[in-house]
Chains A and B, each alone.
Chain A
Amino acid sequence: MVNGLRPKNLDEALEILSKQQCTVIAGGTDLMVQRARGFAIAPAFDKPLLFIEHLSELKKIYIDDEGIHIGACAILTDIIQNETIPSIFKEMIEQMASPPTRNMATIAGNICNASPAGDTLPYLYAVNAKVKLKNINSTRIVNVSDFIISPKKTCMRSDELLTDIIIPDKEFEHNYYRKLGQRKGMSLTKVSLLAMADVSDGKILDIRITLGSVAASIVRSPEAEKYMTGKDTSEIKAVTETILGKYNNLIRPIDDARSTAIYRKKTSLRLIKDFLEKIS
């Protein structure tokens, strides 16, 4: 029988983590499936469960000098309904899972699960989002792209808790998101593409392109983004193949239960092309 711990506040949670190793449960929507043992049997956990979902300190969504803070235990439903969240990010979250699951699931869980198919990750990588990690003595802030080391692996220490996700308070002028799955509702991603750009007087001022589920981590090419920045949108058509070439080697998908490597690769490049046509 696994023991459960329910701290009264964040300090108590950090104190518990300083003394023993725990499995932290926010929404539990990934962990409960991964540890499931089937009908009528409690899922298997080898460490005590630390429940944090009820901690009001971790549910807040607010703006300060650092950007928009999303508390680790803010559920997806509340994030979608919050007016401070950039509209494209809301649109992405609305396509995740289903209403009952979105009433439980958190972005922090999506990050800590560190799956290449995590549907909030293309946005978090594109805007250089950060996570705040706390232990009983200190706080550190890490880029999401550094926090996730490899599939299922993060740099979080056993005495730390992810408390906030920090994203810039910024809307891009052009936003493009395509999630390809087997169906519309409740689908896991085969390929996803997020592209955002600011264009002024026909000139690209800022452009971000990220792809999910097509490599061991989220794909983003600083080289390609740098190449496109400063160009006139009318020039893009002539250099589309050059741009796609910069993504070609980074897109390294696999065959799995959901899709094939060849489908993922071809579709990724076509989606990038489609976005480039739309802004030019």
Chain B
Amino acid sequence: MKIEFTLNNEKLSIDVDASRRLLDLLRDDLGMSSVKEGCGEGECGACVVLVNGRAMNSCILPAGAIIGKSVVTLESFKHTDRYKAIEAGFLKAGSVQCGFCTPGFIISTESLLNQNPNPTDEEIKEGLSGNLCRCTGYNMIIKGVRLAMEMGAGLW
């Protein structure tokens, strides 16, 4: 199936299996290695990317469903001021240990703050409930998000 979509602000046209997972399309075909495979069934959030500004699990999203859409991964998001605020918050709070889950957490943080620039701790937990981390525990990540929203106040 011919898939035309925008990846990191660049228009692309690619011929792939309609059921190919967006995760494999991004990672294997297009070299976007920030997108990780964890569980492969939409539970862990390591593969989360932004599709038209909303966080989605790329491991259960078929390629045929992204025609005409805008997909954003960390490869371009890292150049934004919002990313820099999230990075600073995560660094300060020690939200990163092995780092495998981090791209997914960053994308979910962006998706959350985009919808709600001033979430409570409870709302942060809910917003990140689709992302699993096996190293840090969640307190440092929640703190990282809170620092990011304080340091990046006005960006969302």
Q: Which residues of A approach B to under 8 Å, CB–CB?
A: 1-4, 6, 25, 28-29, 32-33, 35-36, 38-45, 48-49, 51, 53-54, 77, 97-101, 103-104, 184-186
User: How extensive is the interface on chain B, given as a class?
Assistant: 35 or more
Which residue of chain B has the shortest Cβ distance to A30 in the bound complex? B60
- Return chain A residues, CB-CB under 8 Å to B40: 36, 38-39
Nearest CB in chain A: distance from B69 CB, A? 8
> What are 23 A-B residue pairs whose CB atoms fall within 8 Å in the complex?
A4-B1, A4-B64, A25-B65, A32-B19, A32-B59, A32-B60, A32-B62, A33-B41, A35-B19, A38-B40, A40-B28, A42-B17, A43-B62, A49-B19, A98-B42, A99-B111, A99-B130, A100-B42, A100-B108, A100-B130, A101-B57, A104-B56, A186-B43
Which residue of chain A has the shortest Cβ distance to B107 in the bound complex? A100
How many pairs of A and B residues are in contact by the CB < 8 Å rule? 113
User: Do residues A104 and B61 form an inter-chain contact, with CB atoms below 8 A?
Assistant: yes
B window 18-55: CB within 8 A of A: 18-21, 24, 28, 37, 40-43, 45, 48, 51, 54-55
Which residue of chain A has the shortest Cβ distance to B43 in the bound complex? A186
Q: Which 5 interchain pairs have the tightest Cβ spacing?
A: A4-B18, A98-B130, A185-B129, A4-B1, A4-B64
* Assembled-state Cα–Cα distance A207/B65 (Å): 41
- Return chain A residues, CB-CB under 8 Å to B54: 77, 103
User: Do residues A33 and B65 form an inter-chain contact, with CB atoms below 8 A?
Assistant: no
User: Do residues B55 and A100 form an inter-chain contact, with CB atoms below 8 A?
Assistant: yes
- Return chain A residues, CB-CB under 8 Å to B21: 32, 42-43
Which residue of chain A has the shortest Cβ distance to B55 in the bound complex? A100
Nearest CB in chain A: distance from B31 CB, A? 14
- Return chain A residues, CB-CB under 8 Å to B131: 98
User: Do residues A2 and B17 form an inter-chain contact, with CB atoms below 8 A?
Assistant: yes
* Assembled-state Cα–Cα distance A32/B63 (Å): 11
- Return chain B residues, CB-CB under 8 Å to A48: 18
User: Do residues B130 and A185 form an inter-chain contact, with CB atoms below 8 A?
Assistant: yes
- Return chain A residues, CB-CB under 8 Å to B67: 6, 51, 54
Nearest CB in chain B: distance from A10 CB, A? 17
User: Do residues A28 and B61 form an inter-chain contact, with CB atoms below 8 A?
Assistant: yes
User: Do residues B57 and A100 form an inter-chain contact, with CB atoms below 8 A?
Assistant: yes
- Return chain B residues, CB-CB under 8 Å to A39: 37, 40
Asked if B112 lies at the interface with its beta carbon under 8 angstroms from chain A, I say: yes
- Return chain B residues, CB-CB under 8 Å to A4: 1, 18-19, 62-64
Question: A36: which of B18, B41, B55 is its contact (CB, 8 Å)?
Answer: B41
User: Do residues A98 and B19 form an inter-chain contact, with CB atoms below 8 A?
Assistant: no
User: Do residues A101 and B130 form an inter-chain contact, with CB atoms below 8 A?
Assistant: yes
* Assembled-state Cα–Cα distance A221/B24 (Å): 47
User: Do residues A42 and B61 form an inter-chain contact, with CB atoms below 8 A?
Assistant: no
Question: B42: which of A45, A97, A185 is its contact (CB, 8 Å)?
Answer: A97
Question: B19: which of A2, A38, A101 is its contact (CB, 8 Å)?
Answer: A2
**Other than the known A4-B62, A43-B19, A99-B111, what 6 A-B pairs have Cβ atoms closer than 8 Å?**
A4-B19, A29-B42, A51-B64, A99-B127, A100-B108, A185-B130
Question: A28: which of B1, B65, B111 is its contact (CB, 8 Å)?
Answer: B65
B window 70-128: CB within 8 A of A: 108, 111-112, 126-127
Asked if B68 lies at the interface with its beta carbon under 8 angstroms from chain A, I say: yes
User: Do residues B57 and A104 form an inter-chain contact, with CB atoms below 8 A?
Assistant: yes
User: Do residues A186 and B60 form an inter-chain contact, with CB atoms below 8 A?
Assistant: no
Nearest CB in chain A: distance from B88 CB, A? 23
User: Do residues B62 and A98 form an inter-chain contact, with CB atoms below 8 A?
Assistant: no
- Return chain A residues, CB-CB under 8 Å to B112: 99
- Return chain A residues, CB-CB under 8 Å to B68: 54
* Assembled-state Cα–Cα distance A251/B129 (Å): 31
User: Do residues A98 and B17 form an inter-chain contact, with CB atoms below 8 A?
Assistant: no
- Return chain A residues, CB-CB under 8 Å to B55: 99-100, 103
* Assembled-state Cα–Cα distance A248/B90 (Å): 52
